Structure 1
Amino acid sequence: MNAMNRRLFLTGTLATVAAPAVLSACSSGGNGAATQQTVADTQLPAYVPYTGVKPDLPGNEQGLLNGFLSYPEPPVRAFDGPPGDGSPVSAFVLTSSPVPPAVDQNPYWQELNRRLNADLRLTIVPNSDMPTKFATLVAGDDLPDFIVPALYTPNGLPAGVANLPAWLAGKCQDLTPYLGGDAVKEYPFLANLPTAAWKDCRYNGGIYGLPVARGIAGSLMFRRDDLFGQLGANPNPANFAEFRAVCRQVTDERAGRWALAGGPLDFVSQMLGLPFRWREEGGKLKSKFEYEEFKQALADTAQLFADGVVHPDSTTNNAPVKKWFNAGSALLNTDRYTAWPQYYAENVAGPGFRISGMRPPLYHGGGFAGTWQAQATNNFTVLKKADEGRIRRLLKIADWLAAPFGTEEYLFRKYGVPGTHYTMEGGGPRQTQAGVSQTVLGIRYIVDAPDVLFVPGNAEATKACYDYQASVVPTSVPDPTLSLFSDTWSRKQGQLGTMINDAQNDILSGRKPVSSWDETLTQWRTTGGDKVRAEFEEALAAQ
């Protein structure tokens, strides 16, 4: 899971101290609070799905993604020529990987420039430096053409921006004349992006960004099926009691093996029917934190910690949970669905390695609980203001960057040059070391094709991923505030998040009783929670 996929803020999934707000999540906001009434009137881009490549495992309108058992051979050529005009194109992007070699030492970057017919000038910033670097960028007022992390926090303010709608209106391009309605058809691969993703780009009554779309399946409890089988453990517990029992069964401290890579507060919350953040009841919003069932979730998760079934180092910052999971030190790990191919790529267990998703059972049994839908965008990118000709040239480049799965352009963009950056094995590209180090330029966060389900070279794993999504998407539960904006939430999410996570950690570690949650809830409401609620309710009414 890359850094732009961290949607765990305020959920307590890993039961760790909250990161700074700018790094704690990635989903973008909706329209500005001062212009809530314009949401319904915003002219979203028309949706024209690409039909040039047929999936092996078709998705559907509910949100199930298309699946591909192998990369189409030969891939489809999407463009007859390069989209650029040879001029420089600047972008401010981030990376969760080691910063790649500079363009003069990076053959992939050089080939990308050639295929774009552009001098791509990237400022590639590591996650840890992003808040400072972005604040400096904004303060200097020398903006690049593409600005990726302008909306890097959930419904939140980027570093250095005091009022998001005003900053967008003053510094960034309203793309509605170029992309609203049928105008987007001039850029067919931007038109191929799902409507739900564009909803996160609405500000000030216009379209103020290019979305990086993701599936609604969101995060899940990954399970090491191979090890569950070896241990004779039940992979599908029917209720919380059975879940607790199987966690105790597979844990063996002497063998260096624990059931859980982190505290499963979200998973237990889903068992209890709690919402992701908010639930609408008769036009009013009620926070997850306000339900009595949330205290039950805290108590049960604290019991799992006391049982010793959670990895003992899980509460450390930047705990290597993926490595624990792949090494078999933890058999269950909450992660974004996009991590499915990454686990296989980093597999150290050999050909017997098998994973899938554990569905949350209803707390007392009798079926499965609804999982939480994720936001339809990973992030979105704004363009600085420019003349019409310049904006149209940049949108042509963005259209190229959004070429879909199955095309030559997508294959190069994701994996590089065959023979140099990857080889085809089992119907999928396997990157070389040069591919791993050179291709992580961050351009996939400028704009991207619609996501698909594909584990390179492993059709069985792709099918397992598809089957999991097919089982959870129909009953998944959306949060009513997704794609909406609250000014108070944008300013106070870091403060509120730290308050919540600190209190959760105190309870889960046994330092405080569950009864202490009542005091935390009162503080959360008076510090801003009630104001956030009121602003979201106003935004809901304006839709």
Structure 2
Amino acid sequence: MTPNATPVSAAPSRRRFLASTAVAAAAVAGGMPLLTACGGGGGEGRKEGTTSGKEAKKILPTYVASNVVAPDIPAKNGSAAGFVEPIDLKNLKTAVPEKLGKGSKLKVMAPFWGTPPSNGNPYYRAMNEAIGVQVTWQNQDGNTYDEKLGAVLASSDIPDVVVVPGWNLNGKIPSAINAKFADLGEFLSGDKVKEYPNLAAVPTDAWQRSIFGGRLRAIPMPASYVTDIAPLYRKDIFDKEGYQPPASAADFLSWAKEATNARAEVWACDDMKWTAFTVFGVLPGSDKALWWNLVDGKLVNRVETEEYLEALEWTRKLYAAGVVHPDAKAGGNQGNAGNRFTAGQVLVYSQNISDLWGKTAEQRTHNKEFEMGAMDIWGHDGGDPTLWAVQPANIFTFVSKKASKEQIRDFLAIANYCASPYGTKEYMLTVFGVEGTDYTVKDGVPTKTPQGINEVNGAFDYTGDPAAYIAHPDLPEIARQQVEWQQRMGAFTKKSTFYGLTVTEPSRWATLADDFEQLEDDVVRGRKKIADVQRAVSDWKKQGGDDLRGWYQKLLDDNGSAS
């Protein structure tokens, strides 16, 4: 990542969270098995199910759109909003006119990738002073955060505030959330949220995802529901060679054979499984609840569909044709695909669209000709694609049940401050830090210093976010490209039956589908056959899949759909 741009809110730290690690990006994209989320339908102690319909309406905050700053590109078709004009640093708007914090001391635990800064650095001090709180950060290694999180939640010593990524909601963590974290509904449900205007502007879909155990327990990170995985391609090389982006699955394979030149160490693509799932209209793999959809009156799981098998077969053909970089066959860190891409060894790879900014900013410092783009997702047969919405929030921040009301209110003061929209004084401090220390301004563009890169990262921006937006002051054309791609893809996006719900599956079935991802990878690489997937699906049904279907059906009958 480079320090020169405002990060994509859908790729956080919170705002850069997903782009900061291949693990996180893979999780959100469906490249990793997730034992999804939490929820509960009703009573305080309920550990399974979800809450929607009339019950959810009693819990959810009232939505009041923000009018502090108007985006240059309004959100459409589920996209993020876009900001492409320079920030008017001399006329920044104010989103929090009065200091809401009352001086509480709060310990906040959050994941961090890299070397965390010391508490008491200029950024932390400035944020504490601006909000009126005394926060001490307990940053933990993001690569092993699930282990630390599980240990902490199993103990009696819970920090005042805890950040929980959605991909860590597995094992006993969901039930621990219901037992250990406070109900924020007393402070936020209905019109109560209006005391915190920036939180009132958080979309209702994101709040719906924050209902755990029948209670509003978390501050969510809002995100676009449009798929964030795109086939990214080397536009500069395509233009030079006269290639056109393919328009069908067969077209892609034909082009890939033409473009691959193994002697010259150029391959058409890296692993394309994630793109295959979208091209063939497969239900999302990022959240277990989204694996199900009601079709002709019956709930169908993604692994039972013909589209799922067709996507795997097409990806297998790419490997068999020798058009996939040989290093991809071994699997491993998806981040290596990006390196192969920038080196020109791979012309197309599947990744979060945040890489449009990250890779472009990285390469333009030394390769002025580098240009990449995001292909529109095509239907496998050349027609319009069928795309499925991903969840509108997947990172959450909770408050301990042991926290006092004063501490909870001061935490909400932090969240409200950090959810200030782009182009405000509060936003600049939250995202860029202290001018002259954490960032400087050149030609109207705020640019982080080395100190700012380390300090203004993975801290206060975890605790609150505005509605999804994309803005890159140094590369506004990339922000426009990302938003417009989302808007085009959003036009073909549907919401499946359990979209927007946070569901806790019964623990007896929690690991039922864990082997499918490895099986997928083995099939596309030629180590297993499609018939092996069909046998695995049959076994899955017998071993609990059909029972789980019945459980989800009852959940739907009792609660209704949120979509």
AA aligned opposite 1:222: L
Match of 1:70, as an amino acid?
A: E
Aligned to 2:142: 127
| Secondary structure of 2:491's aligned partner | helix
Please list, as runs of the form range in 1=range in 2, the aligned pairs for 1:377-526 lying within 5 A after superposition: 377-385=393-401, 386-425=403-442, 427-488=444-505, 492-494=509-511, 496-497=513-514, 499-526=515-542
Please tell me whether residue 100 in structure 1 is matched to residue 83 in structure 2: no
- 1:28, CA displacement in angstroms? 4.7
Distance in structure 2 (CA, Å) of the matches to 1:359 and 1:334: 12
Aligned residues of 1:71 and 1:406 also touching (Cα < 8 A): no
1:274: which partner in 2? 282
Q: Structure 1 residues 409, 198: CA separation in 2 closer, same or farther (over 3 Å shift)?
A: same
Q: 1:285 aligns with which of 299, 310, 314?
A: 299
Shifted more, 325-334 versus 31-40: the winner is 31-40
Q: CA deviation at 1:38?
A: 6.3
Alignment match, 2:238: 228
1:526 Cα offset (Å): 3.1
Deviates more, 1:182-191 or 1:225-234: 225-234
Tell whether 2:69 aligns with 1:53.
Answer: yes
1:529 is matched with which residue? Answer: 545
Q: 1:160 to 1:29 in 2, by over 3 A?
A: closer
Change in CA separation of 1:291 and 1:80 when aligned onto 2, cut-off 3 Å: closer
Please tell me whether the aligned partners of residues 415 and 422 of structure 1 are also in contact (alpha carbons under 8 angstroms). yes
Partner of residue 335, structure 1: 351
Alpha-carbon offset, residue 493 of structure 1: 4.6
Aligned to 2:191: 182
Contact kept in structure 2, 1:89 and 1:120, CA below 8 Å: yes
Whole-angstrom CA distance in 2 between matches of 1:491 and 1:482: 23
Structure 2 counterpart SS, 1:94:
strand
SS in 2 for 1:274: coil
Give the aligned partner of residue 173 of structure 1.
182
Alpha-carbon shift at residue 9 of structure 1 (Å): 5.1
For residues 142-221 of structure 1, what are the structure 2 equivalents within 5 Å?
Answer: 142-149=157-164, 152-153=166-167, 156-157=169-170, 160-161=172-173, 164=175, 167-219=176-228, 220-221=230-231
- Say if 2:50 and 2:503, in contact at 8 Å, map to a contact too: no
**Change over 3 Å in CA distance of 1:336–1:383 after alignment to 2:** same
**Which amino acid letter does the alignment assign opposite residue 233 of structure 2?**
R
Are residues 1:364 and 2:381 paired?
yes
- Give yes or no for contact 2:39–2:49 (8 Å, CA) kept in 1: no
Shift of 1:10: 10
- Range moving further from structure 2, 526-535 or 375-384: 526-535
Distance 1:125 1:322 in 2: 26
For 1:458 and 1:138, the matched residues in 2 are separated by 41
Moved over 6 A (4+): none
* Structure 2 residue aligned with 1:141: 156
Secondary structure class of the residue paired with 2:487: helix
Deviation at 1:160, TM superposition (A): 4.5
8 Å Cα contact 1:403-1:448 kept in structure 2: yes
Whole-Å separation in 1 of the counterparts to 2:509 and 2:180: 23
- Is residue 70–residue 457 contact of structure 1 (8 Å, CA) maintained in 2? no
Deviation digits for residues 27-54 of structure 1 (CA, Å, limit 9, x no counterpart): 7544346564665312211111111111
Is the Cα contact below 8 Å between 2:353 and 2:374 reproduced in 1?
Answer: no
CA drift of 1:466 comes to: 2.2
Give the stretch that moved more between structures: 108-117 or 188-197.
108-117
The amino acid across from 2:293 in the alignment is R
* Distance change in 2, residues 1:273/1:495 (3 Å): closer
Residues of 2 paired with 1:344 and 1:175: CA distance?
41
Question: Per-residue deviation at 1:521?
Answer: 0.9
AA paired with 1:153?
W
Gaps of 5+ in 1: none
Distance 1:417-1:203 versus aligned 2 partners, 3 A rule = same
- When residues 308 and 462 of structure 1 are mapped into structure 2, their CA distance, relative to the original with a 3 A threshold, is same
Count of residue correspondences: 521
TM-score, scaled relative to structure 1: 0.88
The answer to whether the Cα contact below 8 Å between 1:426 and 1:458 also exists between their aligned partners in 2 is: no
Deviation, 1:233, is: 1.2
CA positional deviation for 1:65:
2.0
**CA deviation map 1:262-303 (0-9, x unaligned):** 2x2232233333322333113421112112332222121011
1:168 Cα deviation after fit: 3.8
Q: Which runs of 5+ in 2 are unaligned?
A: 1-10, 42-46, 285-290
Over 3 Å counting, the alpha-carbon distance change for 1:132 and 1:199 in structure 2 is same
CA distance in 1: counterparts of 2:513 and 2:225, whole angstroms: 25
Tell me the CA shift for residue 189 of structure 1.
0.5
Contact kept, 8 Å, 2:40 with 2:504, in 1: the verdict is: no
Determine helix, strand or coil for the equivalent of 2:505. Answer: helix
Report the Cα distance in structure 2 between the residues aligned to 1:528 and 1:410, rounded to whole angstroms.
48
Q: Is the 8 A contact 2:39 2:50 kept in 1?
A: no
Q: Which amino acid aligns with 1:259?
A: A
Kindly tell me: are residues 37 and 454 of structure 1, through their superposed partners in 2, closer, same or farther at Cα, counting changes over 3 Å?
Answer: closer
In 1, distance between residues paired with 2:185 and 2:297? 30
| Residue of structure 2 in register with 1:117 after alignment | 132
**Alignment check: 8 A CA contact 2:512 2:545 kept:** no
- Please tell me the residue identity of whatever aligns with 1:391: I
With over 3 angstroms needed to count, the CA separation of the structure-2 counterparts of 1:494 and 1:503, relative to structure 1, is: same
Taking the aligned partners of 1:82 and 1:250, their CA distance within structure 2 comes to 59
CA RMSD of superposed structures (Å)? 2.7
Is residue 68–residue 421 contact of structure 2 (8 Å, CA) maintained in 1? no
2:131, 2:413 within 8 Å by CA — same for their partners in 1?
A: no
Q: Which is further off, 133-142 or 72-81?
A: 72-81
Which amino acid is the alignment partner of residue 398 of structure 2?
V
Once the two structures are superposed, what CA deviation does each residue of 1:475-528 show, in whole Å capped at 9, x if it has no partner? 11223223335543666555522x101211221121222221111112222344
Partner AA of 2:500 in structure 1: S
Amino acid at match of 1:132: E
Decide whether the 8 Å contact of 1:38 with 1:204 is kept in 2: no
